[in-house]
Structure 1
Amino acid sequence: MSAIELPDWNEVAQAADRLALASSPAELHGALCGWLAAGGADAPDWPARVMADPGVPAPQAGDALDRLRSASVAQLGDADFGFTLLLPDGEPPVVRAAALFAWCRAFLGGFGLAVEGKPLSEEGQEALRDLASLGAAQIDANDDGSDEEALVEIEEYLRMAVLLLHADCALGPQHRARLH
């Protein structure tokens, strides 16, 4: 686990409400992480960038959305793989799974905005396909929520997939630039 913790789900929800953002904390974090993983700029006005809406105001310095950005940047760059997804704690697995699927859809949107034709490794392409499959997934109305273990495994896989995509798109070009 990273020493850099993400802000609390409720803090992010309240900060999003203050800016009139019609996105859940999972969607905001997913879009931000997609943007950053694809090599998008670490910028204080990130909500406007990841929502492709220049009219979205920038968060106040130090508020939950600003801390979400700085923690996400730090976690993606953590050599100890301390990256975590912002999902609701203490909720039934079916609620957390719905948030995870929304996180994936938002990740794909943010990633698509920033990737700009950067080449992906074969593993990166597979990870992106898997994220798309999860983003398209639906909750089974008859699900009794007993798949906690499966949800934990999917979340762990997603963490590694996001770090792989970040390495392909953001870290790879940075390392190549330093070599020249």
Structure 2
Amino acid sequence: MPQGATPDLPDLSAVDAEIRQLALATSASELHGALCGWLAGGGASLRDWPARVMVDPELAAPVEGGALDRLRITSAAQLADRSFEFSLLLPAEEAPLAERSGALFDWCRGFLGGFGLASGASPKLSEEAAEALGDLAKLAAAQPQDEGDEEDEAALAEIEEFVRVATLLLHGDCVLAAEHRQRLN
């Protein structure tokens, strides 16, 4: 990896395997959404993050260097990187549309939970970020459709990009703006 480049997320199957090992009742996409929501809402990037985002203090911290630990480190680095290289942990493009859209909606549900835990009931958000958060809530309530055509594929790609940008916007409002205010004081 070139110096300054953000690392890639661990493989979805590696994250899934570690989730099963820890007997977590969530999908890899939903857990990644919860982690990103936690980080975007101002939560700390700590090794015991699953216990925090799943609100279960009994959960063991992921193995250092394991898939869930790398997921945290990479997600935090991608969110902090100004090059907008942030990516969502979702099934590959070859997966059926229903599986990919379902995972995206799961990701949004996880994001909302993690974001709410970290940011509290009334985070300071710009009008755009508040609207984006509302749109993420609508996506979290959506249901995947069984079949689709090229138009549906294009729509899913647009929704993925929206979720990615909305996450960066919320992270900017809750984390980067707060860090900027601290530097000014």
Aligned to 1:3: 6
Distance 1:40 1:93, change over 3 A: same
Letter in 2 for 1:131: L
| 1:159 lines up with 2:164 in the alignment | yes
Residue 91 of structure 1 aligns to a residue whose secondary structure is coil
Q: How does 1:19-58 map to 2 (within 5 A)?
A: 19-58=22-61
Q: Which residue of 2 aligns with 1:107?
A: 111
Write the mapping of 1:1-180 to structure 2, written as runs, cut at 5 A: 3-89=6-92, 90-116=94-120, 117-141=122-146, 143-144=147-148, 146=150, 147-180=152-185
Q: Which runs of 5+ in 2 are unaligned?
A: none
TM-score, length of structure 1 as denominator length: 0.95
Q: Distance in 2 between matches of 1:135 and 1:145?
A: 22
Alpha-carbon distance change, 139 to 73 in structure 1, aligned in 2, over 3 angstroms: same
RMSD across aligned positions (CA): 1.1
Shift in Å, 1:145: 5.0
> What does the per-residue CA deviation read over 1:15-60, in whole Å, with 9 as the maximum and x for residues that have no partner?
1111111111101100000000000011000000000110111001
Corresponding pairs, count: 178
Q: Is 1:94–1:145's contact at 8 Å kept on the other side of the alignment?
A: no
TM-score by length of 2: 0.93
> Within 1, Cα distance between the matches of 2:148 and 2:157?
16
Q: Report how far residue 178 of structure 1 moved.
A: 1.0
